[in-house]
Amino acid sequence: MTTHATPTTQTITTPTTPTTRTSHPTHLFEPTDLAGIPLANRLVMAPMTRNRATADGVPTPLMATYYAQRAAAGLIVAEAATPNAVGRTYPNITALHTDAHEAGWRQVTEAVRARGGRMFLQLQHGGRVGHPDTSGLTPLAPSPVPLPDGIHTAAGHLPAPVPRELTPDEIAATVADFAAAARRAVAAGFEGVEVHSANGYLLHQFLAGNTNRRTDAYGGPVAHRIRFTMEVVRAVAEAIGPERVGVRLSPGLTVNGIEEGDTEAIYPALVAELRSVGPLAYLHVVYANPSDPVFRAIRAAWPGTLIANPVLPDGPLAAEPVHAAADRLLAAGADLIALGRPFLANPDLVTRLRTGAPLNPVRDAYLMYVGGPEGYTDYPTLPAAGAAG
């Protein structure tokens, strides 16, 4: 999450005719299968928090429009939804622990399904990434270690509070909340859920040495630190079936003040345990680098579908570099490619990448995290592709 600045308005131009991309073999646009779910291509719209829900976390009709515009993706993983109130991170993020949340998400899945799209929902608990000004509650975390750089709230950027250490009973209750949210997700029309064990949120906080200072069965050696993630994944798999469950990982990522300390030990152990749950739908590796030893070890150890999110350059993106980054990961063994910013700014991204057409730039970052259609549902599509929504 970034500190918000004053919004600016940019004029985005779109070519009248798609160009042809440089021709070379690729599997990016081939149909494929995900745990029995047919996908039109290997492109995944990555989960991206965009703060367009109501203050209570209910998805809005505007969100249904946004996701339906991007239904040409082989798979959409919808933005993080919290499984309980204390897990909220930022203002106007989505949740899934009430009937109203479930009904709001149902209008989203129905809109996407009407366009032929497929959706999973990411489930995320913020842990120490939260604030009483947002949730009304003191954040809970593995240990009482605060977020170092503060957090954005409705009142602005504030110092992060010291979280309260989860008790064993609260850990068990949180696991149950994830399972209940997964059942609601399926009832709301999602194909499945992605358990978020990445990006410095609660499950990742249990994995990392600097945020997990516990001395009980959930802290200390790697086998203990992966326990909470495994309990959540097992409970969710038991609730909705392992074939409906994906897991997101971010080995070595330091976002939200995370310092794992022993990345090379954590992820082989975690992947080995994940294999024991059953045939999960997928693993999703964030900022995947095909030359990274940990990524290669995950690919070698994981027998199922691997989604990889490539590292893309900052600044304006172009179709050929994005396509090349995707192809490198496919060549390294990835099965599906997750993209974030390109899908945000290009509702017709599949067509643009297929034809080599220029990509819309992402507008001012402020527009990513405020309510309303600007910088959200008003990105233009290619005339040849037709209106996307």
Residues with catalytic roles = 201
Structure tokens at 263: 């990345």
Written as six digits, the tokens of 203 are 């499950």
Look at residues 88, 102, 202 and name the one whose alpha carbon lies nearest to residue 138. 88
Q: What DSSP line would sit under 203-234, residue for residue?
A: HHHHHSTTT----STTSSSHHHHTHHHHHHHH
For residues 134 and 82, the answer to whether their CB atoms sit within 8 Å is: no
Question: How far is Cα 63 from Cα 68, in angstroms, rounded to an integer?
Answer: 8
Amino acid present at 174: T
Separation between Cα atoms, residue 249 and residue 308, nearest integer Å: 10
Q: If we measure between CA atoms, which residue out of 188, 182, 194, 177 comes closest to residue 281?
A: 194
> Quick one: CA dihedral 51, 74, 347, 184, positive or negative?
negative
Is residue 285 within 8 A of residue 249, CB to CB? The reply is yes
